[in-house]
Structure 1
Amino acid sequence: MLAVGVSGVMAQAHIKAVYTETSRNLHATDTVKSKEMTLVSGLNRSFYFNEMSQYCDSMDSTPEGKKKLQEVQLAAWMTTSPDGSISIDMRRGNAPRKTVYTYVEKDFANGNVTVYDKWGGEQGVYSEPLHEQEWTITGDSVKTVLGYDCVLAECDYHGRHWRAWFSPEIPVQDGPWKLGGLPGLILSADGGNSFTFEIKGLENYDGSIGSVYNKDSYQKVDRKKALENEEYYANNMESVLRAQGVTLKMPANATPPKFEAHLHSIEPDYK
């Protein structure tokens, strides 16, 4: 629950919501993977991000921070064998590490949404009109999420049918990822095939709304082309990396994962 009532939300203008985002695991399609994402939303803009990734990018944005982060990571990951050889295992220790590349910036004032992510091994960015979802509100379908009474809305968006539960008690026309535009904050959403967003925390927020670091490192991309590249990269990773001079050791009997748009892409409309 919010620390104060609805009137406090309106006066403060900013909220901070934490969501669990799930999707189907490429390497084990009968399982799902999850990540924690944060939405900070204000009157004019909002920012959707992973807090660990934002921290790592903030450190990488200055020479001093980059050096300090590398020192912490190497101290946790690097081991030296008796023969003097050095190995690095990023699964060791508890060092900060960026594993989520998705950032979404919504500009309510200018009516656009900008997505920063990594597709096909390359960082990219694209913008499109804000809230293109055309929702149908089902007023007689209600459920409680995080203690709030929520109403069901449905839409077809970029190849998925979304069922979203929003709360009119929280007058913020926003939600996780690119979803939004309803008369209340989206607390839960299901796009089928294990693509879900579920709120786990919500509070008033009086800090500034952040932004993406190192924006000049992102190349402008076409959304559908970027999604095509991601599928090709996933299905041909060994040959792509070999062309880049990287050797990927796979067990002799290993079956390479098969990326399928309807199962593994949150926006399968590129097919």
Structure 2
Amino acid sequence: MNKLLTSIFMCLVAISAMAQNKAEIIVSYDSSFPNKFGKINTGKMSLLASTTEAKYFNDLSLWVDSLKSTPEGKAQYMEIIKKACMTVEPDGSVSFDMRKGPTKPTNSYVFTDLAQDCLTHYNKFGEDNGYYTEPLSEMQWTIVEDSTATVLGYECIMAESDYHGRHWKAWFATELPMPFGPWKLHGLPGLILKAEANGGFSFVATGLERTDRIMTPMYMQGDYSKVDRKEALKNAEYFANNEESIMNAQGQNVKIYSTDDQGNKIETPKYDGLKHNIEPDYKMK
């Protein structure tokens, strides 16, 4: 009898946890960031949100990580990559072009939780997987009532915030009473559907629909170490500008080069966090 009651209790706990992590909407965003080649990187991102929590991610990255989280799935993924990316040359040698395969466009995931009063950001910083948390109070807004815009048919009000080295303008919809938005943006009395910051960083919602999709926890959490945000960003910039020498010092014997649009080799520009990082405060005094 006790075992039966325990089983019933555990099932109820599991069902309750699933209900708590169930999203109410999913939003698609186009993101735009400047890169070190003087061009704009664009990406497709998604936000699952309820009134109390949110998860921001890329769908392809989520699919890859879900596969790689089990031995069977990892083997399946490696077979997919092999078929898509491997080429056997006439001389019998083998080459891989990872651009042909379903590889992760980004390593970034952001989980925001009102009950815990914090957000957690998972990413790859240089060579290492890391995560950090920060209190939601780090982002404060000033609402500009007389500045509005229409996004996806919703009338949005503008707000401004200085956050981690950039000045943000965001447009939120009070018709959607969820205090979340793209990336780490949060804290307004409505869903953020558009945001832009100095330096060419922006997010624009391109689609929104109701859903009951579960906001699954981070896959392979054990592969991530807790980091200090600013130190991690410094390390990532150092790695970006010294990747070849770092890898060769590890005995990997690689040559990294860049090409222009015509395929000609060019000198790789330096990554500068003040220009290319969405959070440049790690370089500011």
Give the gaps of 5 or more residues in structure 1. 1-11
The secondary structure found in structure 2 opposite 1:16 is strand
Question: 1:58-111 deviations in whole A, cap 9, x for unaligned?
Answer: 00011111111111110111121232211111223xx42113100001111110
Q: Kindly tell me the number of residue pairs found equivalent between the two proteins.
A: 256
1:1-58, CA deviations, whole angstroms, 9 ceiling, x for partnerless residues?
xxxxxxxxxxx961111111111122x11x1001111110113321111110000000
Secondary structure of 1:225's counterpart equals helix
Is the Cα contact below 8 Å between 1:131 and 1:179 reproduced in 2? no
1:211 maps to 217
1:68 aligned partner: 76
Alpha-carbon distance in 2 for matches of 1:241, 1:13:
41
Give the structure 1 partner of residue 279 of structure 2: 267
In structure 1, the partner of 2:135 is 129
CA change 1:224–1:78 in 2 (3 A) is: same
Which residue matches 1:17? 27
Distance 1:206 1:131, change over 3 A: farther
Letter matched to residue 148 of structure 1? Y
Aligned pair 1:187/2:193, yes or no?
yes
User: How far 1:125 sits from its partner (Å)?
Assistant: 0.5
Structure 1's consecutive aligned runs of 4 or more residues displaced over 6 angstroms after TM superposition are none
In structure 2, the partner of 1:107 is 113
Contact 2:23 2:214 in 1 (8 A): no
Q: Which amino acid aligns with 1:192?
A: N
Q: TM-score, normalised by structure 2?
A: 0.86
Structure 2 CA distance, aligned partners of 1:244 and 1:72? Answer: 28
How far apart in 2 are the matches of 1:33 and 1:182?
27
TM-score (norm 1): 0.90
Retained in 1: the 8 A contact 2:51–2:177? no
Match of 2:104 among 98, 101, 120: 98
Query: 1:1-271, aligned counterparts within 5 Å?
Result: 14-26=24-36, 28-29=37-38, 31-92=39-100, 95-246=101-252, 247-250=254-257, 254-271=266-283
Q: Could you tell me how far apart the structure 1 residues matched to 2:197 and 2:257 are?
A: 33
Q: Deviations over 1:100-151 (max 9, x none)?
A: 1000011111101000001112110001102521100000001111111111
